[in-house]
Structure 1
Amino acid sequence: MAGSPTARRRRLAIELKKLREEHALTCNQVGKELDWSGSKVNRLETGQGRVQPSDVDALCRFYGTSDELRALLKALAKQSKTKGWWHAHGDAVPSWFSVYVGLEQAVSSLRTYQGEFIPGLLQTAEYASELSRVTPDLSPDDIPRLVDVRMRRQELLTEASPPDFWAVVHQSAILQVIGNRQVMARQLERMLEMAKLRNVTVQVLPYDAGTYPSTGPFTVLGFPEQEDPDMVYREGLTDSVYLELPTDVSIYTKAFDHLRALALSPQRSASLIRSSMEDHAR
C-alpha cells in the first residue's frame, strides 16, 4: 500500500475510476444512481479534496465489490485524511507543491532533469536559501521553513529502503554562481558526496552534447505498486503540472533516456563537478 497520505489518495482515485470504467458508466450516470452530482464522482476519481469512507462505501456497494476490496478502499480513504510532516510548515509549502512532496514520499524511483539549478534533493541549505530569496510571494520568515522542508525531503535518499534517484544536470547549473563561489563550492562538494550513494546517479549534460529534446525541468516519478502508474511532474513559478496519461509519461521517459545517453558518464561527470568545485573554491 502506498506510503503517504497523498499517494494513498491517488491510489484510491485510480481504483475508483477503474471500477466505474469496468462497469462502462459515466460519472453522471453513477452520480444519478447515488443522488450525487457527476462532478462529485469526478472529484473522487481525481483525488481532489478529501474522500469520506462513507462515500467509498456507497460506491463499493453500488459496484458490488467484494468485502475485502471495500475494506481496503475504505482504509485508503481513512489514511488519506491524515497529514504529512510537511503540513506543519504551513504556507511555506504551497498547496500545489505539497502534493508533490506527498507523492515523493512513496516513490520507488525518481528520474529528474534540471537545466539551470541543482536538483532539490541534492541541494545544501545555503544554496536552497539563496534560491528561496527570489521565490515570488515568499516572505523572509517563510525562507527558513522552506529550506527545512527541502532538507527533510533529502532524508528520503538515505533511509533504509531508499528510492533510486537518477539526476541529469546541465553543465550550466554547476558553473553559474548562486550566492557566491564559496556557496557553490560547498554545493558541488555535496553533490559529489550524494553521488557516492548506491541509489544515487548523477550525470552532467555538457555544453557540447549536441541537440536534445527541448524541455524545461521535469521529474518522472515511479511507484512500487503496479497499480500506481508512473507520472511526470513539471514545476513553474506559481503552480505545477502533473502528467499521468501513458502517452505523456512515455514521451518524457524517452526524453530522459535521450538526455542521459547524451550526458557524461557518472565517472566523467564526477570529474567535471570536482573540477568546477575547485574553480569555485579558488
Structure 2
Amino acid sequence: MPGSPTARRRRLAIELKKLREGHKLTCNEVGEALDWSGSKVNRLETGSGRVQPSDIDALCRFYCTTDELREFLKQLAKDSKLRGWWHAHGRAVPPWFSVYIGLEQDASSLRQYQCELVPGLLQTPAYTAELHRVTNQLAGEELERHVNVRMERQEILHREDPIDLWAIVHESVLRHHVGGRAVMREQLERMLMVSQLKNVTLQVLPFNAGSYPATGAFTILGFPEQADPDVVYRDGLTDAVYLEASADVSQYAKAFDTLRATASSPPQSASLIKRVLEEYSR
C-alpha cells in the first residue's frame, strides 16, 4: 500500500473512529466491552498509540466488519510502523516536524500562505542554511543535515505524480534580506524557475493589496483519497499545531480563497519578483 507511515497511521485512526461512531458508541463503552480502558480506544483513534494485529482483530470482531475491511486495517497498521526516509536524518527532523513531513509526502495538494519567509519547498540551499544558522545556531555537519532534509522534501514537486502546490507569499518575503543580496538573488531566481512548473502556482500579496485575513503563515494539506480529510498545519519555533476539525479547516480554506483573490495574478506576481530581483542586482 503506497503512502508514508504517518499518513497510514492517520488513515487507520480515522477508520477506527468511523467504525465506533457508526455504532454510536463512546470510547469507554467500547473499552468496557473489550476489557480495555477507554483511553486505549482513544489512543488508537488518535494515532498516538501503536496498534497491534490483535487489537484490529478484537475491534473487527466487536464491530462485525467484513474480512476485507479487517485485512485492510491490518495492512494500514503494518504500514504505519515503517520508517520514512526522513527518519534516517536523526535530530535534523524533530518529532513534531516528522509528523508534518510524513503528511506532506502523502499529500496530493498544498495550499500555503507565507507572510515572513520563502516556503520551504521553494527555498535554495543557501537560503535554508542561513535560516537554520540564525534560528537554530547550527553549523558544520549538523547544518548540512538540516539543509539536506529540506532539499529532499522538494522532490515531491518533481516526482512522477507531483504534488500540486499553490503558494502565496507576502511581498515582505521578497524584500526580507536573508543571507545577503547574493543569496536573495539566487532565491528569487529559484522561485521564478519553480513557478514555471505545471503543478506550481505562485502568487505575491503586494503591499498595496489592501485588507486581507490576518492569519499568519499556514498550510492546508489535501490528500488523494476522499476518506483522508484535509489538515491545516501551523508551525512555531519548537512545535506545531495540526487542525483537522471540519469547521477549522473550512475557516482556513475560506481565508486562503480570500488571499488568493486579493493577491496579484501569477503573471503579475512573476513581474513583481523580477522587479525586486533587479533591485538586488544593482
Common fold, TM-score beyond 0.5?
yes
1:15 counterpart residue number: 15
Matched residue, 1:270: 270
How far off its partner does 1:84 sit?
0.1
What secondary structure does 2:220 align onto? Answer: strand
| Residue 97 (structure 2) aligns with | 97
Is 1:148 paired with 2:148?
yes
Structure 1 position 52, deviation (Å): 1.7
Q: CA deviation at 1:18?
A: 0.3
Write out per-residue CA displacement over residues 182-238 of structure 1, whole angstroms, 9 at most, x where no aligned residue.
000000000000000000000000001111111110000000101001110000111
Instruction: Trace 1:119-138 onto structure 2 (pairs within 5 A).
Output: 119-136=119-136
| 1:16-59: CA deviation from partner (whole Å, max 9, x where unpaired) | 00000011111111111112111111111011132222211211
Q: Within 5 Å, which residues of 2 pair with 1:17-36?
A: 17-36=17-36
**Equivalent residue number for residue 246 of structure 1:** 246
Q: Distance in 1 between matches of 2:140 and 2:42?
A: 39
- CA gap of 1:138–1:94, structure 2 versus 1, over 3 A, is farther
**1:92, 1:138 within 8 Å by CA — same for their partners in 2?**
no
CA contact (8 A) 1:219 1:232 kept: yes
Taking structure 1 as the reference length, what is the TM-score of the superposition?
0.97
1:166 and 1:14 map into 2 onto residues whose CA distance is 26
Give the percent of matched residue pairs that are identical in Structure 1 and Structure 2.
67
Q: TM-score, normalised by structure 2?
A: 0.97
Gaps of 5+ in 1: none
Mapped to 1, the partners of 2:116 and 2:70 lie a distance apart of 46
Q: Structure 1 residues 209-218 or 81-90, which shifts more?
A: 209-218
Gaps spanning 5+ residues in structure 2: where?
A: none
Contact 1:93–1:146, Cα closer than 8 Å, also in 2? yes
Counterpart residue number, 2:228: 228
3-state DSSP of counterpart to 2:106: coil
Aligned length: 282
CA distance in 2 between counterparts of 1:214 and 1:193 reads 29
Query: Which residue of 1 is the match for residue 176 of structure 2?
Result: 176
> Secondary structure at 1:133's aligned position in 2?
helix
Secondary structure of the 1:116 match is coil
- RMSD of aligned residue pairs (Cα, Å): 1.2
Q: Which amino acid aligns with 1:44?
A: L
1:234-276 deviation digits (Å, cap 9, x = unpaired) = 0011100000000000000000000011101000100111111
User: Which sits farther off after the overlay, 232-241 or 137-146?
Assistant: 137-146
2:208, 2:97 → 1: CA distance? Answer: 33
Distance, in Å, in 2 between the alignment partners of 1:225 and 1:214 is 31
